[in-house]
Chain A
Amino acid sequence: MSAEKTSFAQALNAALDDAMADDENVIMLGEDVADEQGGGVFKVSKGLSGKYGTKRVRSTPISEQAIIGAAVGAAITGMRPVAEIMLMNFITVAMDQLVNHAAKLRFMSGGQTNVPLVVRTTTGAGVGFGGQHSDMLEAWFAHVPGMKIATASNPADAYGLMRSAIDDEDPTILIENITHYGMTGPAAVPGYRVPLGKAAISREGGDVTLITYGRGVGDCLKAADQLADEGIEAEVIDLRTVSPWDEEAVLSSVAKTKRAVIVHEAVRPFGAGAEISSRIHEELFGELAGPVRRVASYPSPVPFAKPLETAFLYSVADIVHAARETTQKKVQ
């Protein structure tokens, strides 16, 4: 990590810039990504078409199937396309290309082709975009063998995950949380990689494990501070990659703390937390001090009005409450 501070958007831009400089097979395509169209709605690709040309950084028609399809086709020839789907809900339009093709071509071809594709997309509740621009859909893709999905909690990891996803020989979806773009943090040193499938321990503690990713990491760290005031030491695990997730890191932490709370912004039913909780119970049932808890959003479409949006999203207080419950004996 360098001492320099950077924003999430700048970190992503630097990762793309460095990857394009290192390998001419890296190309970008998406709506409005070239400079003439603004360099991306969130400016993540700003300057890149100027530097690498519009052959390699292509603004596309509004055609999500055609964008992902073209990226898949280029990927099976050994190019490394980074396709942008402006907002995660628009990925629904391209599901066939992702689920039936990107994720499966390696297997169905018996390993003759593979799809080194990165899909960048953004989403997240809390900014008043309502029902069709805010969903966290990572669990859908975690349910598709052949696909990888990851999301960063800080600018340096955003850089490192992007570089690893571009290097990776399989398709990866990277979710950028819409509330994160302005966040600043230490910059990654150029060339930094965050290995896919490896979690980070964001805070160590012995009483309860908080397992999360993306925006949940900041919230869990806040909750851990409050819990520390009550004498509860929480360990915070940032999964970074949702699928394939780092079972080893999670199970060894929970084997130590005997208590776990899983936190994610996506709605609770059938979310990533269900799988993680299930695996913890399967592997550590006899050692747990209590059942695994989940903190997640309320199962409604993301609402517009502030009081409703607040009711939808979990809160830091919810995390504190759940962690306290798992450690009740100790508090009493």
Chain B
Amino acid sequence: MNKPASSPSLSPDMARTIYRKAYLINRTDERFRAMLTNGELAVAYYPVRGHEVIAAAAMAALETEDYLVTTYRGLHDALGKGIPSRLLWAEFAGKRTGTCKGKGGPMHITHPETGVMVTTGIVGSGIPIANGLAMSSQIRGENRVAVASFGDGASNIGAFHEALNMASVWKLPVIFLCQNNQYAEHTALAAGTSVSSIAERAAGYGMPGVSCDGLDPASVYEAMSEAVSRARAGDGPTLLEARTFRLLGHIFGADFSYVPKEDLSAAEERASMTKLRQWFSERQVSEKELTQIEEDVDAEIDEAVAFALESEPPDPDDIRFDIYETEQAA
């Protein structure tokens, strides 16, 4: 297992981009949870607190045309990849103006314009689909890569193993991005997973396995950039594990008293947004720029929330459309 050297080599431009994404994800997640708490929205929601940096830095290493497949816990990935906030919020609110016309919901976000091709609620099932996206790029001689984003628990399902083997045999331009938050629902990593680092599993499939610190923007960005370069060069897939900690319950509102208090407070400390801001200010992002980013993002979220709340819900008759190419009878 190779560990990428943590170097402060992010350009100031890239640092700004990553901070913007991380702040957007953090604020959106918090706002959404606040609206669930006060009853303005009622939706099943999988919080992304603790995953902000992974999505911000990993997606910053991609181009818009690169493909992404993510999961129910996918708000961060979707925003990181660039889906406009207002479309995402409208879909989360079940509105006709959402990315998927209210037919998908938070667990099934799709937005091909920004490369978000599938969001799945079936653990592990997006991994084989990412192979197909990569295969398409390979056959067509395009330069796009595909990313499958999934959790540590997903590395225990058959689809993961079938897909990694196939991707390695076919040298597909795909990156398997495992966001290891130490828990699969209520099951801690050690209770359900035979390895302590998911990256070790790459050895079984003859591909590089890399583990990075999911709370360190440079660590994630560099590891991801290297995996992307490998894929674009035709050298095949990488299993990239980004290590973090799930700071809340599995689903919004769920009990998580089973998470040891000391682990949680240690992780909270490491994942603090104040610390993250400090980290960027030490990398040539000025106080003025940081404040500007924050003001812009806050305004973007306010606008998106208003848009989502004002938008019309779907018409019941919409149900007949998008089942097949041709509409179905009433």
Contacts and interface: CB of A to CB of B under 8 A. Distances in A.
Interface of A: 27, 55-56, 58, 60-61, 63-66, 68-79, 81, 96-97, 100-101, 105-114, 145-146, 148, 168-170, 244
Nearest to A75: B132
Contact of A69 (B102, B110, B111, B159): B159
A161 B66 CA distance: 35
Nearest to A60: B166
A172 to B, nearest CB: 11
B162 interface: yes
A78 B135 CA distance: 12
Given A109-B110, A244-B324, 4 more contacts: A55-B138, A69-B162, A105-B110, A110-B101
A66 B136 contact: no
Interface in B87-143: 98-104, 108, 110-112, 117-118, 120, 122, 125, 127-139
Contacts of B156: none
Contact of A73 (B101, B130, B169, B325): B130
B315 to A, nearest CB: 13
A27 B170 CA distance: 15
Given A66-B166, A111-B101, A146-B324, A101 B133 contact: no
A110 B159 contact: no
B101 A70 contact: no
B324 A73 contact: no
A58 to B, nearest CB: 7
A170 B323 CA distance: 9
Given A69-B159, A79-B136, A101-B120, A106 B324 contact: yes
A75 B118 CA distance: 12
B110 A113 contact: yes
A169 B162 contact: no
B118 A105 contact: yes
B112 A146 contact: no
A72 B323 CA distance: 16
B125 A69 contact: yes
B150 to A, nearest CB: 13
A79 B140 CA distance: 10
A113 B117 contact: yes
Nearest to A146: B323
Contacts of A112: 99-100, 110-112
7 closest A-B pairs by CB: A73-B132, A69-B128, A110-B101, A110-B100, A109-B110, A63-B162, A66-B162
Contacts of A27: 139
A110 B130 CA distance: 20
B139 A73 contact: no
Contact of B139 (A79, A97, A109): A79
Contacts of A81: 132
Contacts of B103: 107-110
27 contacts: A60-B166, A63-B165, A63-B166, A65-B125, A65-B128, A66-B165, A69-B125, A69-B128, A69-B132, A72-B129, A73-B117, A73-B118, A73-B128, A73-B132, A73-B133, A74-B135, A78-B136, A79-B136, A106-B323, A107-B103, A108-B108, A108-B110, A110-B99, A110-B322, A112-B100, A112-B110, A148-B324
Given A58-B170, A61-B166, A66-B162, A101 B118 contact: yes
B133 A61 contact: no
A55 B325 CA distance: 29
B321 A111 contact: yes
A205 B173 CA distance: 58
A79 B112 CA distance: 15
